[in-house]
Chain A
Amino acid sequence: MSENERKEGVLEGVSGRRGIEKQIVLPWSKALEMTRENIFVRLGRSAITASGIFLGIAFLSAVLFGASASRLMAELDLERIGLEHEAGELQARIIWLAGMSLVVATVGIVNSMLMSVTERYKEIGTMKCLGALDTFIVRLFLLEAGLLGILGSALGALAGAGVMMLVYIGRLGGGGVAKAWVTPAVHLGGGDVPLWVSIVASVLIGGILSILAALYPAWRAAKMPPAAALRSEF
């Protein structure tokens, strides 16, 4: 009996090597369900992970709102001179500030995802014993980071813009504050981007950054040999 024939005996019911990958599955719906459970059961840890991106995006959306509001105020004040120049300088400052806040938020997520992975070594080892492929582990952690990222960013965007609305309502009035949402906040690629679009975009950016930040921790978790993962005590 050749090595391959024997192998097929052990891996009975599998035709060829390619078949095996499809024989072990984790449906997205199940992964999502597991992730949701994980987030709610470990609410404290989840809140810490999400708070990094929450703060980053809250800051970004506050800065964006501020930019729209100042432009609106400048437009109302027609006699103001040197508007273009000021706007350009403001733009550069916004990009720098927002960029820094996102970098800080991303580093925060990497850190808390690494801790979350370390806490769950044993669970990861157990899942591998039950037949989980490395990709399942990666999928679960990325899903978790993505969900927390989107949720944290959405709440952050609301909080950041909300605070700025309160700040500006005295100067612009209710109508002015509402108008700020359709006033350009940033100038990108030759076109003005209205505030609401840039805030929606920042929520997406928050989600994407969270997933990117979780890549390394998730990969590290998945690559662990099960025996080493099971040995760890937490």
Chain B
Amino acid sequence: MSVYEYIVRTKDLSKIYTLGGTEVRALDDVALDIRRGEYVSIMGPSGSGKSTLFNMIGGLDKPSKGTVFIDEVDMAQLTASELAFLRCRKIGYIFQTFNLIPVMTALENVTLPMVFAGLATDDALDKGMELLKIVGLGERHDHKPTELSGGQQQRVAIARAFANDPAIILADEPTGNLDLKTGKEIITLLKRMNEEKKVTVISATHDLKMIDVSDRVVWIRDGKIERIEEREDIELQVGQMEGEDQ
């Protein structure tokens, strides 16, 4: 049918939470195929289930029903250490609240995944510095997260996400805690990394600025996929969006 190679596939993916005795369907039979190397934005209002989807794809939570395949491997079949391996080497995570380890410097944060991956200390430090330079923070490697601005912390987090050359970058509201300008810089940086490193970027967001750089946009509402837009459809709309920029 198509010539695309899919890096992530979900099938009948559902997550049901029980809140105060009532069942809440955070995800309802979601089937989503993500192509290798593309930049996908998962858009939707808060509570639409995009973070839940993010957690399922990232192997951070178990689905109530259905399957997530990464490179055609069913994640539910992986043992705890295989899952840790996947998180360490295959997936880079970026969060709304940056989630840097507060007691560590920028460089230590970036090198931590490399330590877990068994890289020699010197190699890890070299690579960590190189990554910090790429995100424009080479000078600030010795600073703790509290000494960095939000945008700088997110840059460190991006450098950290790329530490072990992952195939997938998962970003959950990466611009949610940033101002307009900084948010744009972060989006540009993510897009640049997507193009240069050929990494698949999957971003859950409700930031319309993200549409600009996306190859596809998946609109999600009430735990279901509402529609999926391709690049060509998007280009037509971007003009209209600019006017209502925050």
Contact = CB atoms under 8 A, between A and B. Distances in A.
A136 B81 CA distance: 11
A42 interface: yes
Contact of B60 (A34, A122, A225): A225
A26 B115 contact: yes
Nearest to B104: A37
Interface in B20-64: 55, 58, 60-62
B101 A123 contact: yes
A158 B74 CA distance: 58
A23 B103 contact: no
B2 interface: no
A133 B84 contact: yes
B140 interface: no
A7 B99 contact: no
Contacts of B55: 227
B180 interface: no
Contact of A132 (B60, B84, B100): B84
Interface stretch (B88-96, B181-189, B193-201, B216-224): B88-96
A41 B100 CA distance: 15
A23 B115 contact: no
Contacts, number: 112
Contact of A11 (B62, B85, B118): B85
Given A20-B85, A26-B116, A126 B99 contact: yes
Contact of B79 (A10, A17, A38, A132): A17
B82 A20 contact: yes
A10 B73 contact: yes
Contact of A24 (B72, B77, B117): B117
Interface in B108-130: 112-113, 115-118
Interface residues of A, number: 40
B160 interface: yes
Nearest to A13: B89
A107 B112 CA distance: 33
B169 interface: no
Contacts of B95: 126, 230
B88 A130 contact: yes
A133 B115 CA distance: 12
A23 B101 contact: no
B163 to A, nearest CB: 8
Interface residues of B, number: 41
A20 B113 CA distance: 15
A225 B101 CA distance: 18
Contacts of A227: 55, 60-61
A127 interface: yes
B71 interface: yes
Contacts of B158: none
Given A7-B77, A38-B103, A129 B82 contact: no
A6 interface: yes
A6 B60 contact: no
A56 to B, nearest CB: 27
Nearest to A233: B97
A117 B37 CA distance: 38
Contacts of B82: 7, 11, 17, 20
Contacts of A123: 101-102
A57 to B, nearest CB: 27
A136 B101 CA distance: 15
Contact of B71 (A9, A17, A38): A9
Contact of A9 (B73, B80, B88): B73
Interface of A: 1, 3, 6-7, 9-11, 14, 17, 20-21, 23-27, 30, 34, 37-38, 41-42, 122-123, 125-134, 136, 225-228, 230
Question: Which 8 A-B residue pairs are closest in the complex by CB-CB distance?
Answer: A131-B88, A227-B61, A227-B60, A226-B60, A41-B103, A227-B55, A131-B116, A126-B99
Interface of B: 55, 58, 60-62, 70-74, 77-82, 84-90, 93, 95, 97, 99-104, 112-113, 115-118, 160, 163-164
10 contacts: A6-B72, A6-B73, A9-B71, A11-B86, A23-B117, A24-B84, A30-B115, A128-B87, A129-B60, A129-B87
